[in-house]
Amino acid sequence: GTPKRTSDTQITLEIDGQSVTVPEGTSVMRAAMESGIDVPKLCASDMLEPFGSCRLCLVEIEGRKGYPASCTTEVSEGMQVSTQTDKLNQLRRGVVELYLSDHPGESLTPDGNGDDELLELADKLDLTEVRYNKGRNHQMAAVDDSNPYFDFDASRCIVCSRCVRACNEVQGTFALTVDGRGFASMISAGTDDDTFLDSECVSCGACVQACPTEALIEKDVVEKGMPERSVTTTCAYCGVGCSFNAE
Ligand code: FES
């Protein structure tokens, strides 16, 4: 998932030794993906503007200091990018470990449904243990189950803002915001103690689809486990796929 292309001018660069030509304005992440190179990511998504918050898509660029985020870095002519060095994977493991220190998963093994991208990434990066103590999220975790279709479990939230951006950019609803800064930041539906039900939320489900950690999860999945088949709905009010519109 990645930022969109914006120009007809072509740029040629090298990613992990492969020559790649893409339109000017393409992100390094998209250029990599278009040449079959999978860069780890959590906050980027195909449908959304890049945000650059999760720090998993870090790459090395010849002649540049530091480790820029590939989702918010545009390609330039002759750029030489590495996406898979030992150093990068070590940094990514550290980032995932920090997220997981705040995440009440009982095990590091993903359940295979692909919905918890954080656990999938931990698995891919061969992260076998989390050294840090559980953080504040884990302690406070009150699940907001006010919405009839989905629950929000703040303890699983990594504040990647994909739900906020999905709400704004896909749905145009602006029901969700990121409150606070840094470690104290949190996704919030409205002000103070507002729940999802009190908010402007129209239960479209765009946030649930966007969430990479199952912090936002359909009630059905919470109660009955993952469905064996999924229903695609075209209902304008609900992307959750409830049976109301399935027939
Ligand atoms: Fe680039 Fe999250 S995917 S910073």
CB-ligand 1 contact for 42 (6 Å cutoff): yes
Distance 70 CA to ligand 1 centre (A): 7
CB-ligand 1 contact for 55 (6 Å cutoff): yes
CB-ligand 1 contact for 92 (6 Å cutoff): no
| Tens digits of pLDDT across the chain (247 residues) | 555 556 789 999 999 999 999 999 999 999 999 999 999 999 998 778 888 889 999 999 999 999 999 999 999 999 999 999 999 999 999 999 888 887 766 567 766 666 788 888 998 999 888 877 655 554 455 789 999 999 998 888 888 889 999 998 887 888 888 887 766 778 888 766 678 888 888 888 999 999 998 899 998 777 777 655 555 555 555 555 554 433 3
CB-ligand 1 contact for 41 (6 Å cutoff): yes
CB-ligand 1 contact for 206 (6 Å cutoff): no
**Atom from ligand 1 closest to the CA of residue 39:** 3
**Atom from ligand 1 closest to the CA of residue 72:** 1
- Our mutation pick for probing the ligand 1 site, out of 2, 49, 53, 88, counting the most ligand atoms within 8 A of Cβ, is 53
DSSP per residue, 35-94: TT-----SS--TTS-----S--SB-EETT--S--BTTTPBP-TT-EEES--HHHHHHHHH
Distance 51 CA to ligand 1 centre (A): 7
Instruction: Give the chain's domains with CATH numbers.
Output: 136-245 (3.30.70.20)
**Atom from ligand 1 closest to the CA of residue 44:** 3
**Atom from ligand 1 closest to the CA of residue 160:** 2
Distance 243 CA to ligand 1 centre (A): 34
**Atom from ligand 1 closest to the CA of residue 71:** 1
